[in-house]
Amino acid sequence: MLHARRIALALGSNLGDRAATIEHAIADLRDTPGFVVVDCSPLYVTPPAGGPPQGDYLNGAVLVSTALPARDVLARTQAIERSLGRVRPDPVRWGPRTIDIDILWIEGECIDEPGLEVPHPRLEGRVFALRPLLDVAPDATHPRTGKRYDELPAAHLPMMRA
């Protein structure tokens, strides 16, 4: 059995009542057996990263503590996405969505499996994921290299709070 460790989850939405959807997702995470919500970042307004023309996102992060295996964490977050109207596979790559919950970082773990890569493969260059991660886990480091995420250039780019 795994020991409890910190896991940072990114939450993003750009359809419907974005803030309400993210708040509902956080409530669902709090109600998820095996998860303890430790902290939540502020929400940020960010432009979409690629994809077709679409509205701005609200993005944030939640830090949970859990002993669940990463695959179980993924399954539970995807169940929350489905309950909030997310359809997978996405009809349009990087298209608009009601909710997106990604595993950004797992303390001390690197995973490279089909459908699950942790740390998130684009974390280091995406301020909309990196800054919320650092809000909830300011001491986060890359599990393989030991590099501190707060030392990355993207960690210091400006962002607008919601």
Mark whether 86 is an active-site residue.
Answer: yes
Tell me what pLDDT residue 2 has: 72
Which one from 6, 76, 86, 131 is the annotated catalytic residue? 86
Look at residue 155 and give its three-state secondary structure.
Answer: helix
Q: Residue 36: what residue type? A: V
Contact 100, 58 (CB under 8 A): no
Tell me what pLDDT residue 152 has: 95
Per-residue pLDDT of the chain (162 residues; tens, 9 = 90+): 578 999 999 999 999 999 999 999 999 999 999 999 999 999 999 999 888 889 999 999 999 999 999 999 999 999 999 999 988 776 677 778 999 999 999 999 999 999 999 999 999 989 999 999 999 999 999 999 999 999 999 999 999 999
Q: Is residue 74 part of a domain?
A: yes
160 CB burial (10 A radius; 0-12, 13-18, 19+): exposed
Q: Is residue 70 part of a domain?
A: yes
Tell me what pLDDT residue 1 has: 55
Q: How far apart are CA 1 and CA 82, in angstroms?
A: 28
Q: Is residue 49 part of a domain?
A: yes
Domains identified in the chain, total number: 1
Tell me what pLDDT residue 86 has: 86
Mark whether 150 is an active-site residue.
Answer: no
Tell me what pLDDT residue 96 has: 87
130-156 as b/e: b if 16+ CB within 10 A: bbbbbbbbeebbebeeeeebbebeebe
Tokens for 156, please give them.
């210091």
CATH number, domain at 72?
A: 3.30.70.560
Which one from 28, 100, 126, 131 is the annotated catalytic residue? 100
Mark whether 97 is an active-site residue.
Answer: yes
Q: Is residue 40 part of a domain?
A: yes
Q: Is residue 24 part of a domain?
A: yes
Which one from 18, 28, 76, 102 is the annotated catalytic residue? 102
Mark whether 112 is an active-site residue.
Answer: no
Contact 149, 134 (CB under 8 A): yes
Q: Which domain holds residue 10?
A: 5-156
DSSP H helical ranges for the chain: 18-30, 70-83, 127-136
| CB contact set of 60 (below 8 Å; sequence gap of 6+) | 10, 11, 12, 22, 40, 41, 42, 43, 44, 132
Q: Is residue 162 part of a domain?
A: no
Q: Is residue 161 part of a domain?
A: no
For residue 102, give the DSSP letter. Answer: E
Q: Is residue 61 part of a domain?
A: yes
